[in-house]
Amino acid sequence: MLFDPQANKPRQTQAPKGDVIGLGGIADNMYLQQVIVDFGKRSIMGIVNVTPDSFSGDGRTSTEHAIAHGLQHIKEGADILDIGGESTRPDATPLTAAAEIARVIPVITGLRAQTTLPLSIDTSKAVVAEAALQAGATIINDVWGGLLEPEILRIAAKHQCPIILTHNRRDGGFPAQPDATPPLLFLETLKTELQQLVDTALKQGISRDKIILDVGIGFGKTFQQNLLLASNHDFFCSLGAPLLLGTSRKSFIGQVLDAPVTERLEGSLATAMMGCLQGCEIFRVHDVLATKRALQMTQAMQAVRISPPQ
């Protein structure tokens, strides 16, 4: 089965050798063996927060509400669902692995019973990632890029599932850079650090075609640095991995628009359209339908654009 984002359902096909997610992985998670995410097309990842303290205010505190929220994302056109049980905002209270598993596994199993879409587990804990893959998840989304718990890279390698490696400058991640850092130097340094994440993942046995990169907007960067990254994703395309855009409802949008988190839709859509034009392939969002329509319109115009004569 190859996942077709345009049809929102699996389609029968002859999968290319070596491209199947999870060859040699968990036998009882058939989705690891049957689902390929087509990253050649723009894919929308709908966020399912199973947290009471999500920065975006959309956290679901019950399994039933979280499952319903995920199904609504699918109805609106999501290609992937990203399920997370621990808030990643800087002042969030850390969870134990057991508490995180208790939150996310019932949601993953509930959604897996009702959809064949790729399910991503948003975690930095190796044991949570393992449990999620056992329950039916097919992608690992680690906001620490494997730096916090390197074992998570070995879990991804064992299952040969896609892993999203996010650049992070918070404590425990890469060193912070001051606002005075020249923009080009800032981008070049971050690109080098992303390459370091890729190299480490490859050394742990993760296939290159299973690596997805996120520049980490909002993770240990200043307002100006976040704005710079949101405007320059094409700088990182040469790394050779699909780029995930994770800007939805984030604080730098609120700073530009002087808007609370509940009023950042327009700003989030603007960043998505900019990212689309700069080569981003996966869009992790809270507002699936609005993003899907904005991207469809952007791509339609982009397809017929003619460069002016010199």
- Could you say which of 112, 170, 264, 284 is catalytic? 284
Question: Degrees (nearest 5) of the Cα angle 6, 239, 13?
Answer: 30
Residue 2 neighbours by CB distance under 10 Å: 17
Identify each DSSP E strand in the chain by its residue range.
Answer: 2-4, 9-11, 43-49, 80-84, 119-122, 139-142, 163-166, 211-214, 243-245, 282-285
284 is catalytic: yes
Tell me, rounded to whole angstroms, the distance of Cα 196 from its chain centroid.
Answer: 19
Tokens of 151: 């074992």
Return d(Cα 249, Cα 256) in angstroms, integer: 12
* Number of residues that make up the chain: 310
Question: Amino acid identity of 86?
Answer: E
CB of 233 closer than 8 Å to CB of 276: no
b/e sequence 171-209, b meaning 16+ C-beta within 10 Å: eebbeebeeebeeeebbeebbebbbebbebbeebebbeb
Q: Which of 112, 250, 264, 292 is catalytic?
A: 250
Would strands 119-122 and 139-142 be described as parallel, antiparallel, or unpaired?
parallel
Contact 45, 282 (CB under 8 A): yes
User: Catalytic annotation on 210?
Assistant: no
- Catalytic residue set: 250, 284
